Chain A
């Protein structure tokens, strides 16, 4: 290939420059010698022969130049020359260079860091085969936007939704690993219970061994487990011979059949709960529990307790198939409703969400807002450096005029000036990448636990390429205006004007002024975003959660059936543990609960409330919370009426129930709630519980979500009606001291009671609350940071322009001072130079903010994007900063000494 050869030739010429020159000299000398000798042989005298040879050759130097041109290195040589000149120019002004390069580094670094996060979270494909065709399938009904599937629905979807090639079910839970791999203690890990077809649907094959067979995915099938890569490494030392060996899981021997590849996760493992690390067959016994095998449906749709994942068919683009699947799901469900499977009042729906949208959908808005914000910071940084370069351009007008007068063309002039921008951007880019390394770490630290895959964010090749592009854009943006400015240099005017031109400014200042207006406007936008987020987070923190989170330590414990055969033993364990923990110094109250508020979403349970008839086609659902006596005091719930649950609400005692305010308002409206009778569906027919207390609503699912009717029952009595034993619960400890100080003593108490039980999810309740609003907090923290940077940069910009104006008008100020103007009047004159731009920037920025703040949309809580209070504060703050930035350099105007100035003139 010709260009390929040329490139190599040019490369060689660059390296061989000196040899090439020498050889060219020698070659031409040889030519002239030979020609001279030939002419001598033809009879010319030596002198004449030499002259004739030279004439026939043409100009030796001219052809040497032409040969040099033909080597193809000329553009590079010129570039190297320009860069050298630019470098010398930058080195002569180290302060200017440092400020400009650091400003760009800030912009490029912040943008690059955020891009690294965006790439990892939003752009990197999920680790499934053709992830666009994997979808999570959900049910929804009144009060539940996104909830589980039932066994029968799954069978129905498999058979009746042609857009699904296959549908699989899984559930999540936990497994306790004991013994086995060396001297590591017992460990509880999040686990998935997956149908045999789930791994094939995701298109992931185990790195070692195999997945589950259909035979294993049956009730009472063989005891098998597939390990996650991290667990395999951590607990079994990456033993390659692990497949086929038994390990101790939940107290029984289970055979390892496979190890999944590193980074494998189930579709819902990207949320805040962390990934599942081991998998066992789902082996659902739903078919034996009353579900109807095959596509027929029993009345009421059966219990919903599975996650669903589908592989879409590939006869059309993935998005189109997903749409078709949702259409088919709608039609199918409508048919079920016609058949009376679901009551119309339930408003049952089913839908599929492509797994990518499922994983990133929640965080996408926050991340994109933050990324847009950081883009604005880069713009401001560029505007600032462009402003600095314009000032330098002013100072270099004479130098540039001389160059133009000497015949430097516009292209060469542009190259010379751009070389400076490119060099600055290169230095800024290099520093920026260093900053980005720190920035990525900062974001990883600030990021909410629910920000999927942020831990994997690194500066890889793609991100570095982005940094390069950002630096290139910065070079162009900063170099453009100075070049335009230089092109308008007219040597005839410039060189005649002499050293001081009284008119520096006015027309030529306009570009800088426009830049500063833009900077202030963008700063207003960013600070508005930050302000709205701060207010929003404050609103969230002010929401009454219904409990007192401070001073509470929580941790999760599980009591597997291998060691705790029935609910009596489980309850006895919790009684004893609570007794021991209560005895620890500093502990005020202790209890246990099925699901921590603001941590895990709660489902509902069908109820009968004596004296309440639900509207036609609607049930009487209640969110169900199972507790041990002591929980209410430990979590700090507020009693409205009656009493909390107590130790006397035990096995054999009359069934007692505490309900929340919403329950009382909804189901017990107009009558005294205490004494009302409630039956939990699925329990013994005569197992009516009596409401003994009412508590204030606890915002269980989220601070911003609507509260639903909720009831509390004790662990012991819930095991009677409806008959479920809670195997996993959270211990809740209230202390008057620092909750974290209790971690070690409480752990020790658990170990002393039963060393086999692993403790997990050790968190303070404050951490749980904070994590639940981590998304808005994350956006707030970063927007506040960028807002501050934007404010600082635009202040520097204003400072610069006022300083320049004051310098340019020193003579005028001197005259005014001589004519009797007071220093105060002069300072005001200087400030006015910046005030106009600041005012224009504030106005423009407010208009922009009103438009752009709408992008914050779902991140805001209790504050409108156009919130007038926030805007007023932002304008006041930005205005004050602008005023200060103008006043500082303007003070010089007041100190102008007329005698000196006029004398120098």
Chain B
């Protein structure tokens, strides 16, 4: 796999995971990164900074919107939340992911039986 294709795959997955995280509750960037580490069990390893270009892209496309709010420790932070368009995107990406996962699964099982 070429580096470019690998990064595309990573980026797509990152987008989906961020959307999934935000679907639970609005959150700031650091919070998202903590949640990503928790739920992926440290398997999904990216530099934390790469989250921000992804968030900016989603802002531009209208999948998320952002507001400045106080945290529970009374610091100003930028919170992101899903828009209706973002929810639609998430559903689509999850469906797409599951379809390809099933396909890969079938291929692997067939290869195993055939081998």
Contacts and interface: CB of A to CB of B under 8 A. Distances in A.
Contacts of A57: 47-49
Contacts of B75: 30, 33
Contact of B30 (A26, A35, A58, A72): A35
B49 A60 contact: yes
Contact of A72 (B29, B49, B60, B62): B60
Given A31-B29, A34-B30, A2 B61 contact: yes
Given A2-B61, A57-B47, A27 B52 contact: yes
Give the interface size class of chain B: 20 to 34
Contacts, number: 75
A9 B59 CA distance: 8
A66 B93 CA distance: 23
Contacts of A69: 53
A112 B29 CA distance: 56
A63 B30 contact: no
Interface string A31-62: 10111001000000000000000001111101
B76 A71 contact: no
A5 interface: yes
A63 B33 CA distance: 15
B99 to A, nearest CB: 22
B38 interface: no
Q: Most chain-B CB neighbours within 10 Å: which of A31, A35, A57, A66? A: A31
A58 B50 contact: yes
A27 B29 contact: yes
B14 interface: no
B104 to A, nearest CB: 29
Interface string A842-863: 0000000000000000000000
Contacts of A5: 61-62, 85
Contacts of A63: 47, 49-50, 52-53
Given A23-B78, A27-B78, A31-B33, A59 B48 contact: no
A616 to B, nearest CB: 89
B57 interface: yes
Q: Most chain-A CB neighbours within 10 Å: which of B29, B49, B76? A: B49
Q: Most chain-A CB neighbours within 10 Å: which of B30, B47, B57, B78? A: B30
A70 B48 CA distance: 17
A528 to B, nearest CB: 58
A28 B52 contact: yes
Interface residues of A, number: 30
B63 to A, nearest CB: 10
B62 A31 contact: no
Contacts of A67: 52-53, 56
Interface string B61-76: 1100000100000011
Contact of A70 (B28, B30, B57): B57
Given A35-B48, A58-B47, A10 B60 contact: yes
Nearest to B89: A2
A2 to B, nearest CB: 6
Given A9-B62, A30-B28, A30-B77, A56 B48 contact: yes
Contacts of A60: 49
A58 to B, nearest CB: 3
Contacts of B50: 58, 63, 66
B49 A6 contact: no
Q: Most chain-B CB neighbours within 10 Å: which of A23, A27, A38? A: A27
Interface in B1-56: 28-30, 33-34, 47-50, 52-53, 56
A28 B30 CA distance: 9
A10 B62 CA distance: 11
Contact of B49 (A2, A33, A62): A62
A5 B85 CA distance: 11
Given A6-B61, A31-B33, A71 B56 contact: yes
Nearest to B60: A9
Nearest to A31: B30
B78 to A, nearest CB: 5
Interface string A1-14: 01001100110010
Contacts of A72: 60
A835 to B, nearest CB: 58
Nearest to B45: A56
Contacts of A33: 75
Nearest to A24: B52
Given A5-B61, A9-B60, A31-B29, A26 B49 contact: no
A748 B30 CA distance: 98
Nearest to B57: A70
Given A60-B49, A66-B52, A67-B56, A30 B30 contact: yes
B60 A71 contact: yes
B33 to A, nearest CB: 7
Interface string A645-666: 0000000000000000000000
B77 A70 contact: no
Interface in A59-113: 59-60, 62-63, 66-67, 69-72
Contacts of B62: 2, 5-6, 9
Interface string A264-288: 0000000000000000000000000
Interface in A610-627: none
Interface of B: 28-30, 33-34, 47-50, 52-53, 56-57, 59-62, 68, 75-78, 85
Q: Which 6 A-B pairs have the closest CB atoms?
A: A58-B47, A63-B49, A66-B53, A70-B56, A5-B62, A58-B49
Given A56-B47, A67-B52, 13 more contacts: A2-B61, A5-B85, A6-B60, A6-B62, A26-B76, A27-B29, A30-B78, A33-B75, A35-B48, A63-B49, A67-B56, A70-B57, A72-B60
